Structure formats: structure tokens, C-alpha cells
Amino acid sequence: MISNNKESMYKRILLKLSGEVMAGSLGRGIEEPAALYIANEVKAIKEAKKDIEIAVVIGAGNIFRGKENPHIERVKADYIGMMGTVINAMALSSALEKIGVENTVMNVFSTGRYTELYNALEGRKILKSKKVLILAGGTASPYFTTDTTASLRACELECELLIKATKVDGLYTDDPVKNKDAKFIEKTTYLEVIEKNYNVMDITAVSMCNENNIPLLICNLKKKGNVASFFKGDKIGSIVR
């Protein structure tokens, strides 16, 4: 696992979350305790490193999955998913507000007064103000995953680290949930991820991070305070450079 000796110097980060984390024990939709758990994890990161700037991209698997609705053609299904990310973003925003964390939701398409229209320049200003920036709406184009959205926004917002918070401890040679013989990978390169087809992010997201020299930390969100501990000097997760 990776210690944060120099990693703690990262000031602006993007946190990528799956939509499923919002569902909690419900499996679908949004469970309030789950949303509050995530909000508190974000707050813990801010408390661990006072000058940190945090952007968040969240998926929508708890709201809608195109693969489970084959009767809906791909482009429409992708747009439904994008709208699902707005629902999750607003729910997370409310949870953060409830625990006293200032935040702004930016969306790539207009949804009225509760979100701001995304542009990178304004997004950077929000981050500099130390508000948490929640990014919704995906890339605004079909055929792109929220992992690609996270990589794209990390580049546009000039983030120094992309953190993919998952349900496992880091990167493995195979799915550790399905394969008990899967081996943990402490650190690797983007080129190796591509060559060995490790299931980290889709190829577009991986290539974007590689080309723009943004390291990726993969770690376990289910362990309370785990992500925040990285900024306190603890060894966690896997790093890809």
C-alpha cells in the first residue's frame, strides 16, 4: 500500500464515486445514512488537510443502468444516466450542507436554480474558495462513462490527483470479490494497466490521465476515514502513474 509522504502535498484532488454508494442497504435509490456517510468522508478529508480543494464526480448506477434496460436505445439510456448523476449530486450536496460543508453543484446542462452551469474557469474559482465542487451530468455526450468524466474534469480543473474510491482496498490482478487468488498491486503504471487490461477505469479515462500526468489512487471507501487517512500519512490503496 502507498504512504503519502509526497502525496500529501497534493492540494487539489478529484474524488470519483460510484452511484451505488448512495444506495446503501437499499440497493437502489438514495439512502440517507449512505449519503451522510459519504458526506462525512468528504468532510474528514477536508479536516485532515486544511488547504485541500475537492471536486467530486459521482455515477448513477443506483438510479439507472442502461444494461438492465435493453429496450431503451443506447443514446437515450446514456442521457437518462446523466440525469441520474444530477439526482445523486443534489442529494450529496444536501448531505454536505447538513453537516456544515459548503459546496456547489455544477452541471453540464441547465437544471434551474439548484445547480450552476459548468465551465472549468468558474469551477477552479469555486475550488480556490475551498468549497467542495460536485460535478454532475457526465460529459454531456453519450458513450462516455463517469470514469471518463472524472478524468476529463480532473484535467480541466487542473487537479493533481484523481482518487477512485471503491469497495475494495485497491488494484488487483483480478476481481478480488470473485477470485480469491487475485493479487494486490501496490503500484503500477498506466501503460501496464493498458497492456494487462486491469479493470481500473475504461481505456479512454486511463489514457487521459496518462497523457496529462495525473496519478490515480484506488482505495476503499467502505473503511471509515480511509481516504482521509491518506492525507495524514497512512499507507492505503494502490497508485497508478
78 is in an annotated binding site: yes
172 is in an annotated binding site: yes
For the record, the C-alpha cell of 125 comes out as: 474559482
Contacts of 49 (CB under 8 A, 6+ apart): 8, 231
16 is in an annotated binding site: yes
143 is in an annotated binding site: yes
Which conformational region is residue 62 in: left (phi greater than 0), alpha (psi within -120 to 50 degrees), or beta?
alpha
With vertex at residue 238, the alpha carbon angle to CA 143 and CA 45, rounded to the nearest 5 degrees, is 85
8 is in an annotated binding site: no
The C-alpha atoms of residue 60 and residue 69 are separated, in whole angstroms, by 14
61 is in an annotated binding site: yes
18 is in an annotated binding site: yes
Residue type, 214: I
198 is in an annotated binding site: no
17 is in an annotated binding site: yes
**Helices marked H in 114-213:** 120-128, 146-156, 190-195, 203-211
190 is in an annotated binding site: no
141 is in an annotated binding site: yes
The C-alpha atoms of residue 154 and residue 165 are separated, in whole angstroms, by 15
130 is in an annotated binding site: no
229 is in an annotated binding site: no
**Helices marked H in the chain:** 32-48, 74-98, 120-128, 146-156, 190-195, 203-211, 226-230
The C-alpha atoms of residue 137 and residue 139 are separated, in whole angstroms, by 6
Residues at the binding site for ATP are 16-19, 61, 65, 166, 172, 175
Residues at the binding site for UMP are 78, 139-146
Residues at the binding site are 16-19, 61, 65, 78, 139-146, 166, 172, 175
